[in-house]
């Protein structure tokens, strides 16, 4: 059991480092080296890749909130999670972890900070207001302005940070919040008010690092890292 725990921790840390490293490498290339007018297809591919990796940054931070990146090492979890959130959009680790724990305690109720009523557009607007406050506005705005000053004539390329972050927030909302928690679509299996979307594993990975396809499993076993959610379902079955 101890050996398995160590192996899980090493894999989680390696995957977290891989996501952060891949995002950083592609970010530097797109912002500092890419010639978008000369290579429009490559620019689109960079936006798609950075959007998916931005989703990954948030999922790494999410796993860290549950202690799943480095089990038994809270300081390391906090450091990895804070770094991932800062790279994603300058979010506050402390603020998000408090709200996310409230989501798990009150999933699908009026006390759930992630829950919203009405259609997906109205729900998403409330979702953004919950997590993007004045602190995030000033931190992200200052970072964008600083980047633009450093980049000089390449200042429009700061869009390769801003646009993927916005698109990733929509992707996270649709596949990680709205589809799993929207009421009235079908019955929830239990008190967690969460459902798994039951898509194929490759699609589950591409959409939300398995937090859509295996969302109910996550609520049942929040300390399980994203990459073990498929095997967790098979083990329970």
User: What is the tens place of the pLDDT at every residue in 187-219?
Assistant: 788 888 899 988 899 999 999 999 999 999 999
pLDDT score recorded for residue 108: 86
Mean pLDDT of 90-99: 92
Q: Which comes out higher in pLDDT, residue 118 or 58? A: 58
Sequence-separated (6 or more) residues with CB below 8 Å from residue 176: 208, 211, 212, 215
Is pLDDT at 30 greater than 50 in this prediction? yes
pLDDT band at 185 (very low <50, low <70, confident <90, very high): low
User: Distance between CA 64 and CA 136 in Å, rounded?
Assistant: 20
- The predicted pLDDT at position 102 comes to 94
- Give pairs for 134-142: CB < 8 Å, separation 24+: 135/92, 135/95, 136/89, 136/90, 136/91, 136/92, 139/90, 140/89, 140/90
Confidence of residue 128 (pLDDT cuts 50, 70, 90): confident
* pTM (global) more than 0.85: yes
Other C-beta atoms closer than 10 Å to the C-beta of 209 total 27
Give dist(CA 176, CA 44) in Å, integer: 24
Q: What is the pLDDT of residues 228-237, one digit of tens each?
A: 999 987 776 5
Q: Is the pLDDT of residue 2 over 50?
A: no
| 167 vs 180: CA distance, rounded Å | 19
CA atoms within 13 A on the CB side of 46: 25
Give the pLDDT score at 164: 95
Mean pLDDT score, 101-111: 91
């Amino acid at each position: 059991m101890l050996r398995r725990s160590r192996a899980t921790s090493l894999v989680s840390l390696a995957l977290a480092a891989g996501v952060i490293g891949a995002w950083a490498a592609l970010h530097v290339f797109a912002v500092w080296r890419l010639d978008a007018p000369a290579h429009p297809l490559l620019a689109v591919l960079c936006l798609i890749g950075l959007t998916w990796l931005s989703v990954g940054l948030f999922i790494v931070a999410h796993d860290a909130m549950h202690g799943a990146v480095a089990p038994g090492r809270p300081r390391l979890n906090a450091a990895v999670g804070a770094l991932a959130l800062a790279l994603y959009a300058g979010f506050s680790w402390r603020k998000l972890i408090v709200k996310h724990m409230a989501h798990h305690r009150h999933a699908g109720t009026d006390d759930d900070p992630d829950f919203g009523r009405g259609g997906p557009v109205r729900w998403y607007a409330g979702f953004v207001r919950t997590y993007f406050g004045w602190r995030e506005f000033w931190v992200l705005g200052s970072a964008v302005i600083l980047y633009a000053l450093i980049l000089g004539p390449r200042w429009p390329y700061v869009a390769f940070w801003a646009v993927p972050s916005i698109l990733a927030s929509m992707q996270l909302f649709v596949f990680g919040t709205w589809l799993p928690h929207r009421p009235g679509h079908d019955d929830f299996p239990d008190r967690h008010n969460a459902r798994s979307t039951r898509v194929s594993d490759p699609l589950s990975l591409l959409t939300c690092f398995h937090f859509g396809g295996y969302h109910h499993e996550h609520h049942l076993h929040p300390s399980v890292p994203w990459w073990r959610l498929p095997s967790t379902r098979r083990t329970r079955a």
